[in-house]
Homo-oligomer: A and B are copies of this chain.
Amino acid sequence: MGERKSGKSSEKKPVQKTGVTLSDIAKAMGLSAMTVSRAFTGSEQISEKTKQEVLKCAKELGYVPNRWARSLVTRRSSIIGVLIPEISHTYFAEVTCGVEEIVDKTGFDLLLCHSRGDAEKERAEIHMLIGTRADGLIIASVQDSKTERPFAELEDAGIPFVLVDRFFPNRRFSSVLVDDLEVGEIATNHLIDMGHRLIAHIQGPPVTPAVLRRRGYLSAMKAHGLPVDKEWMIGKDFSNQNGYVSMRKLLQLKPRPTAVFAANDPLAIGAVRACREAGFRVPEDISVVGAGSIEGDHNPNPFLTTVWWPNQEMGRAAAELLMKAIAESDGGETHIRTFAPKLLVRHSSGPAPTK
């Protein structure tokens, strides 16, 4: 067995598999480990000269300080946990991107965790993050009001956290929100303004944002004296598939709705697909409005009329709240930042058919 790399090596030293340590380079330089440590921690108690020498020697030997040994004694991991249902949802990807921007700037790193929409998995991940001694958490929770237990654990562990787009009325947690009630109202009002009266709603799962958007839909309809048939509210999760299936059902109703407010964009896109397959034109025959559009350069969808809000900025805001909570470590106050949604009129909505 040939050694693949003999390092700097003195004589035999088979393979330094474990990696170079502080005391390795301390010995090599005839210094104490402490002095070497000081060269890396930015301590004042070391002369500039030896500091440079140490850094140089460390580089040659390929030494990189062991983060965990350090954080064990420092009691800070410099790790922020991000706990979301799934990163492939563009919405969460953009929030996460905003979080990363701030967090990276402050010298922390991101541990990415998926709850996959499962409250129990979320709980397990929180537990894991406590074990990881994360310095803080950003959570897009799938817990409902009855299962706040995981958050209590976090508080016991003294780990600050900020919720994204989830609000628990009975308990104040720091959070960053969109006004989801307004989302529902804006979308619905737009359709009403275009002359629609038979407006259906494809809803999401029973989490706060979806519930509020639905409530906004209902409130807008009511405000205009428009009746809402129970069959017009349909759907059970945020998937494209659900949008497709729900729309197919809606198309069979009579009278057939002339417009649909879908609780998010994937739902809306699924709905559009169902309409077209069934031979209806969008928006000439049926108008569709989504919600939660993606921003930025990467994946714009130029077709769908939708209600937009600044995902990435919300991520930044959440991270800023968290950074402040960590820095001040008061742990006491909770802050809530709410963002206003905005209607983006594009090409999937139009005037109600005159028929």
- A: residues with CB less than 8 A from B are 5, 17-19, 62, 64-69, 71-72, 75, 77, 79, 82, 86-90, 93-94, 96-97, 100, 104, 109-114, 127-128, 130-133, 153, 156-158, 239-241, 265-266, 269-270, 272-273, 276, 294, 296-303, 312
Contact = CB atoms under 8 A, between A and B. Distances in A.
B87 A100 contact: yes
Nearest to A69: B72
B100 A109 contact: no
A94 B100 contact: no
Contact of A297 (B19, B62, B132, B239): B239
A318 to B, nearest CB: 15
This chain: copies in complex: 2
B294 A299 contact: yes
Contacts of A312: 88
Given A297-B241, A302-B272, A157 B114 contact: no
A112 B100 contact: yes
A294 B96 CA distance: 18
A53 to B, nearest CB: 20
B66 A133 contact: yes
Contact of A62 (B75, B157, B294): B157
B109 A110 contact: no
A322 B114 CA distance: 20
Closest 4 CB pairs of A and B: A68-B68, A88-B97, A240-B297, A93-B93
B109 A128 contact: yes
Given A68-B77, A72-B69, A109-B132, A300 B97 contact: no
A157 B65 CA distance: 12
A18 B74 CA distance: 11
A80 to B, nearest CB: 10
Contact of A300 (B62, B69, B158, B240): B240
A16 B268 CA distance: 50
Contacts of A97: 86-88, 114
A302 to B, nearest CB: 6
Contact of A132 (B62, B67, B87, B241): B67
Nearest to A86: B97
Nearest to A7: B156
11 contacts: A62-B157, A68-B133, A88-B298, A89-B299, A96-B112, A109-B111, A109-B132, A111-B111, A240-B300, A266-B299, A269-B299
A97 B84 CA distance: 12
